[in-house]
């Protein structure tokens, strides 16, 4: 029993950039896993170690940290519109690795939450009942996912995104900070929802929704001076 528990908790992280380092931090401080090594493609091994752990090529990791004894987490961001993370996810699965998900304990979650493998879900989420989150999904900190919504595989959700109830989100989508999706919307595969975008209708695959940036008023603009006077009593 002791040996089985030890093996179950062994993890290697695919990646060597900042998100891989963060994955190690979260797994080791808020899960039962202990990270044993970082892994990259063979051609990208440029050092023997990273943050005190071995840095190995994929083929070498198969020998030293085999799938029969170790799990893997693919820690890659939205690079290549999520396709690189998707590619490495399938590469790891094909050789037999079980892909571990991380779900931060510092969130509001319900027992019926359905989450796939290799997900990375950070703190301060509000995820309502009957939500399904697919495989290889990244959900950064502080989001709201409404009841009955479905998040497709390989999607990346940045911080402070609001996805209202009963939305159906496709695969490989990207949601920028502060974007908002109205309830009952269907978002096709490979959609890019930019920062501050407000989506109120269905989007076909490969759509781009652009948010409008703030209007900047110069210091001598009378509208800006009037607003400052109204709210703060000064000009």
What pLDDT sits at residue 8? Answer: 53
Task: Name the CATH architecture for the domain at 2-94.
Answer: 3-Layer(aba) Sandwich (3.40)
What pLDDT sits at residue 133? Answer: 98
166: left (phi over 0), alpha (psi -120 to 50) or beta: left
- On the question of pLDDT at 3 being above 50, the answer is no
For residue 57, list its beta bridge partners: 40
Residue scoring higher pLDDT (213 or 145):
145
φ/ψ (deg, to 5) at 42: -50, -40
As a whole-number percent, the residues of the chain with pLDDT over 90 amount to: 90
Report strand pairing: 10-14 vs 71-74. parallel
Compute the mean pLDDT over every residue in the chain, rounded to the nearest whole number: 94
What pLDDT sits at residue 77? Answer: 95
Q: Does the pTM of the predicted model rise above 0.75?
A: yes
Is there a contact between 38 and 83 (Cβ–Cβ < 8 Å)? no
Q: Do 101-207 and 2-94 fall under one CATH topology?
A: no
Residue 182: pLDDT band (50, 70, 90) is very high
For residue 34, list its beta bridge partners: 10
Name the nearest CA neighbour of 153 among 99, 211, 207: 99
What pLDDT sits at residue 2? Answer: 37
Q: What are the structural domain ranges in the chain?
A: 2-94, 101-207
State the CATH class of domain 101-207.
Answer: mainly beta
For residue 193, list its beta bridge partners: 175, 209
- On the question of pLDDT at 32 being above 60, the answer is yes
Alpha carbons within 13 angstroms on the beta-carbon side of residue 55 total: 18
Average pLDDT over residues 192-221: 95
**What does the DSSP 8-state code read for residue 199?**
E
- On the question of pLDDT at 163 being above 80, the answer is yes
Residue 235: pLDDT band (50, 70, 90) is low
Average pLDDT over residues 197-222: 94
């Amino acid at each position: 029993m002791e040996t089985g528990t030890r093996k179950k908790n062994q993890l290697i992280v695919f990646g060597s950039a900042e998100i891989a380092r963060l994955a190690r931090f979260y797994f080791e401080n808020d899960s039962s896993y202990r990270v044993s090594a970082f892994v990259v493609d063979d051609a990208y091994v440029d050092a023997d170690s990273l943050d005190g752990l071995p840095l190995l090529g994929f083929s070498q990791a198969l020998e030293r940290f085999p799938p029969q004894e170790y799990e893997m987490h693919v820690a890659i961001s939205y690079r290549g519109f999520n396709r690189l993370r998707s590619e490495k996810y399938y590469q790891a699965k094909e050789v037999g690795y079980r892909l571990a998900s991380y779900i931060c304990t510092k969130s509001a979650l319900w027992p019926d939450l359905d989450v796939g493998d290799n997900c990375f879900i950070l703190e301060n989420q509000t995820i309502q009942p009957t939500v399904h989150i697919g495989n290889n999904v990244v959900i950064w900190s502080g989001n709201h996912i409404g009841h009955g919504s479905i998040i497709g595989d390989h999607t990346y959700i940045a911080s402070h995104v609001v996805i209202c109830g009963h939305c159906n989100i496709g695969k490989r989508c990207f949601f920028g900070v502060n974007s908002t999706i109205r309830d009952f919307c269907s978002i096709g595969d490979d959609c890019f929802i930019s920062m501050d975008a407000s989506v109120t209708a269905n989007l076909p695959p490969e759509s781009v929704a652009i948010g409008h940036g703030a209007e900047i008023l110069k210091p001598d603009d009378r509208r800006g001076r009037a607003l400052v006077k109204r709210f703060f009593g000064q000009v």
